Amino acid sequence: MKPVVTFGEVMLRLSPPGHLRLLQINSLDVTFGGAEANVAAALAQLGQPARFVTALPDNDLAQLCINQLRGLGVDTQQIQRSGKRVGTYFVEKGASQRGSTVLYDREHSSIAEIVPESLDWPKLLENASWFHFTGITPALSERCQVACRQALESAKRLGIPTSCDLNYRKKLWSRESAQRVMSELMPNVDYCIANEEDADDVFGIKAGSTDVTSGELDHARYESVAEQLCVRFGFKGVAITLRESYSASENGWSAMLYTGKKAYFSAKYHITVIDRVGGGDSFGAGLIFALVQGDPPERAINFAVANSCLKHTIVGDYNYVKRDEVEKLMGGDGSGRVQR
């Protein structure tokens, strides 16, 4: 099988134990995560070879991160060792009416200061079946913006399908900057992934009168959003996750895949959330996995949603879920009974 290549930042993740707040703690749980690293890890767990491209310093903390990714089955051979720091972020897990919060400490990280010319994209994309990045990566620095553009241009020349999860982060850049940069990158993207707010935040395309904080979504309006995105950028497909936030602990979870001709809506799951961070990345991984396998749109969107549903039950960024577990849930077994 040919590998999926992802490009972006992986960070040290520090979390208070359980549902404590930062102001309450005297210890932190340590792991790693980051959007494109999460996608690569999830793909590897599903059985799809995945190659992760990033930059990390040459120190033991970075090596611990690489060891963890390698242990999950991710190809880390093309990780560049440069720069001086691993980005860090802190996650407070929400509960009930208190939402989860993220605090970034990632300025001047190794990937933000990467030299685009040091990335040999024809080599990095050698024998690849897919290339994926998110809107987080170009938000890190102008150097990352150049690197993303060069990666997409190389993938285009090599005939490699591409995808981008818009992943707008207001703590990293403004809407105006996001719209300018992402609009330049999108013409070389085949599949766009977004949540209920991204299309509005990045491109000013609204899902009608839908209020994402009310817990109620109008599917017809999201089909219109996807159609507008396809018309503007020529995407082969647009996937939109549909989260109904009853509270931080209870969500409705489904999605839509629009192929330019028809919208396919997945089954909906009622989730008791253990850890929301990484949920969208596991959705992207599930979708890429299914499309690389050649699955039809209806099965692809249902696989992606089921994979992401299960991730919401796992602590940490990475999705430790196997293909057979996803397919079992797709088949209707969501009982959560002990497997003996």
d(CA 16, CA 64): 20
Residue-level pLDDT at 63: 98
Widest CA span in the chain: 54
77-111 residue pLDDT tens: 999 999 999 999 999 988 888 888 899 999 999 99
6-36 residue pLDDT tens: 999 999 999 999 889 989 999 999 999 999 9
Identify the CA nearest to 82 among candidates 143, 167, 149. 143
Q: Please name the residues in contact with 198: beta carbons below 8 A apart, sequence gap of 6 or more.
A: 135, 166, 167, 168
| Residues facing 50 on adjacent strands | 4
Contact 181/202 with Cβ under 8 angstroms? no
Domains (ranges, CATH) in the chain? 4-330 (3.40.1190.20)
Residues in the chain, pLDDT under 70: 208-217, 334-340
pTM passes above 0.85 = yes
102-144 residue pLDDT tens: 999 999 999 999 999 999 999 999 999 999 999 999 999 999 9
- Scanning 26-107, the segments in alpha helix (DSSP H) are 35-46, 60-71
d(CA 118, CA 312): 37
| Neighbouring C-beta atoms of residue 14, cutoff 10 Å | 18
Three-state secondary-structure class, residue 84: coil
Identify the CA nearest to 75 among candidates 161, 8, 5. 5
Residue-level pLDDT at 332: 86
Which is it for strands 88-92 and 50-53: parallel, antiparallel or unpaired? unpaired
